[in-house]
Amino acid sequence: MKKEMSEHSDSQLDVLFLNELREIYGAEKQQLIVLPLLKKAASSLKLRNVLASHLDDTSEHIRRLETIFGLLNQPAEIREPETIFGITREAEQVIATTVQDTATRDAGLIVAAQKLEHYEITSYGSLATHARTLEHDEIEELLELSLYEEKESDDLLTALAENYINTEASRE
């Protein structure tokens, strides 16, 4: 049976949930900056395509989070995504220390892109669990959708690394 929202409204888990939503919202927005940077630096067409489709997903994930804030009657606010700032600096280091148009650079960019994905998978996984506990059924469904898409992008990056780029990079 669905409990009344008010029963949870002041719980510590509600506060944590909202803060985590603000953090992933900030992380998704920062990826609108990082993903084009990675895409521009990549030489493999396949990698550029995976990054472009992750960028499209990111815009959708941002819209979904804004829907969630609306369902919670909360303003869509960001929390500074410190982890994503760190991964951005790591990606810049990869670009600074590798040669343009090499599979080695692409291999490094995939590492950075997968760090982003794993952060998102962890965040959406935890948020979906918390939404279930708080009985926010509709919100849980939206979070599960984004979680699924993040996992799909991550699998594509793994396949790309295993099937092509790491082999090429080992020959450079």
C-alpha 139/C-alpha 28 separation (Å) is 17
Q: Out of 22, 39, 61, 64, point to the residue binding Fe ion (CB under 5 A).
A: 61
C-alpha 56/C-alpha 67 separation (Å) is 17
Identify whether the C-beta of residue 2 lies closer than 8 Å to the C-beta of residue 133. Answer: no
Of 64-72, 89-97, 99-107, 112-120, the window that binds Fe ion (rule: CB under 5 A) is 112-120
Q: Which is nearer to Fe ion, 8 or 48 (CB)?
A: 48
Of 9-17, 53-61, 75-83, 125-133, the window that binds Fe ion (rule: CB under 5 A) is 53-61
The CA–CA distances, whole Å, from 5 to 19, 31, 59, 159, 172 equal 18, 32, 29, 43, 58
Note whether 105 binds Fe ion by CB under 5 A.
no
Helix (H) or strand (E) holding 100: none
Least CB distance from residue 70 to Fe ion, whole Å?
A: 18
Q: Which is nearer to Fe ion, 42 or 127 (CB)?
A: 127
Interacting residues with Fe ion (CB under 5 A) = 58, 61, 120
